[in-house]
Structure 1
Amino acid sequence: MIMQPEKISSNIILYACEGETHFDHDPFVYEHYFGIITSGSADHYTDHGVVNYPTGSLCLIRRNQLLKVIKKPDGEKPFATITIFLEQETLKKYSAEHDVKADGVYAGETILILENDAFMKGYFDSLMPYFAQPEKLTPILAQAKTTEVIALLLRNPALKNFLYDFSEPHKIDLEAFMKRHYSYNVPLAQFAKLTGRSLSTFKRDFVKIFGTTPEKWLQTQRLERAYFLITQKNKRPSEIYLELGFESLSHFSYTFKKLFGQTATESKIHQE
């Protein structure tokens, strides 16, 4: 069972999910966010393998990236986080008021694990009463809590460029990017943004490079990867359809049979 995220302000959220592990529904990160895993753990799927974040992990996530994460309960304890979204508008306002500016374009890691020191523990402890009485967190207090966490983060000067580089993605190698990220289930507009293109330019460049439309190419890539995992790695469709960007098992099964002329189960049997 998934519990609805509990917002106590427009950008401070308590989130919990119970039962089976599951992927994030939307892997696109729109804004920077900072949070702590209060129970359970998370597996982050990267190009270099899976990175596990246990209970207590304090994570700072950069905007404009694709993030594939499985959230895992811990026994009877649900996966739960407290998250503060650091929106661009809020950061620009803080920048103007406190004369904080980036020294240059940020080129470091897009996910940082920070030390959960006494000050951070105190900050998150101070939020807990508001989840029981959300009406007590007035807009003024919510702004104060957001300003407080920005100030706490800026104790580390290295985070200034992470937070205050407001530049947008520049034009990059589309072919290499898509071959790395085809399994992410996001709208084409988000692929376009991450490769530094308008949607129309993205589609035009895509056809020049791959000789087909993005929609057809993405589906074929995902299904061919599924075929390999099922026939060579003994995976079940139910284990991989979300990981490969399909929204439902029924849609995966239908498109798999349409491309290969047989069901995933039949394909597996024929390889044995």
Structure 2
Amino acid sequence: MRVLVVGGSGLLGLAVCRRAVRAGLSVVGTYHSRGIVQPGVRARRLDVTDRAAVRTLVAEVRPDAVVGTPYRYDDWAVTADGAANVALAAAEVGARLVHVSSDALHAGRPTPYADDEPPTPVHAYGAAKAAAETAVRAIDPGAAVVRTSLILGEGSKQIQLCRDALAGRAVLFSDELRCPIDVSDLADAILELVGSSYAGLLNVAGADAVSRAELGLLVAERFGVDAAGLKTTTGAALGLSRPLDVRLDCARAAGLLRTRLRGVRELLAR
């Protein structure tokens, strides 16, 4: 099987590439500015906002499956239009599509979100991820759309944010709850979906719900950092419109996948 990983130079994309090579698949990974250094991966530069370029590359590669992981937090064209361009190109060659979405498209509430719940975005990034989902599902109803949460792993922005807050260079929100997931667990789940016929939305996140502030404390304990300097606040205190309690109900994924979705406390245990 030939797999095209769009956004293969990012934390998740690189993990998917690495584990796909290990599974014996033929892997092509795309990058925009930062190259891919991974044995067994053929790297191709791609601007996902250029529809013609996306179609040309996909037509040349002729993948059996496409994994779409690209995003840029403050860029609608990459996050939304790019997803649509990838879905269109994948459909044109009949490739299986697994699109990676985010819990950021929910506003937050006291009860967990089921897989099929409609988006309720409260900021631009969430709206872009919601638009991407809408485009992907309209273009390819057979695509698997993975809604995930904060991604942890070596080089993770989430871990670095915690380190920065522990050093007093950033703040963590005590009223934002998420279900962080290890990047390798998420990559394995995505590759399982590549080989399946599952269609539609699927929550794939970690087993534990923690606040960003609690995540900072877990990072401090894991790496032996003094937590006395941890800076925390709340979205309300800063007057920000941000998703708050966003927990994903992953019961469907747990029943469907062989991959065990570990909780953050297990991941960061010393």
Shorter-chain TM-score tier: under 0.3
TM-score by length of 1: 0.25
* Structure whose alpha-carbon radius of gyration is higher: 1
Query: How high is the TM-score relative to the length of structure 2?
Result: 0.25
Indicate the structure whose relative CO is greater, using CA pairs within 8 Å and at least 6 residues apart: 2
